[in-house]
Structure 1
Amino acid sequence: MSLDTDALRVLADPLRARILELLADEALCTCHLVEATGARQTNVSNHLRQLREAGLVETEPHGRYTYYRLRPDAVQHAADSLSALAERARVHSDLRRPC
């Protein structure tokens, strides 16, 4: 299993990480996320676009609003790739390439 670098890059931003934490509890629209994070609407929208493009969130139209929902399978995939990397490091901790 290789690292999902797109997901990891997206997760590295503090505001995007906060948005994901909020979406883990419930589907929210942009106005909820603006209120909860204190970030500007355009900033939140840009981050949501990046999260959507990375496959970490999905949209759910509801009337004139769009709700965002965390995709647990995508987050699990990123977590699994990090777990696999940690396991490789454990298994190979005694190996050293000679100079």
Structure 2
Amino acid sequence: MDAMRRLLRISRRDRMRNEMVRERVGIEGTITNDIERKQLIWYGHVQRMEEQKIPKQVLNWIPPVRRKKERPKKTWIEGIRKSMSKKNLTDNKWNRQEWKLGIGQRGKTL
């Protein structure tokens, strides 16, 4: 946001909301949407891998010990599942074209 504000020569003292700044620059969405999209891209990539590949084994691995008292209860995969449910994606769509369309990446058009 700081870079966008400098681009428009708007200071924080001007008290303009971040949504207005994004609108003026012409950027849609937020950083959290970009992070979710990148995570879904990586998740689809790993799911298309063979079972013996290390990234896929690590993704499916569950640690044998309990979490410490102050640790968050939510895991990375739970966040992915939530993102998938928001975009109406199912676990059986590992076809690259279907997955790209589902997560919002543009597919090539002829």
Choose between structure 1 and 2 for higher RCO, CA contacts under 8 A separated by at least 6 residues: 1
Question: Which is richer in strand?
Answer: 1
- Output the TM-score relative to the length of structure 2: 0.33
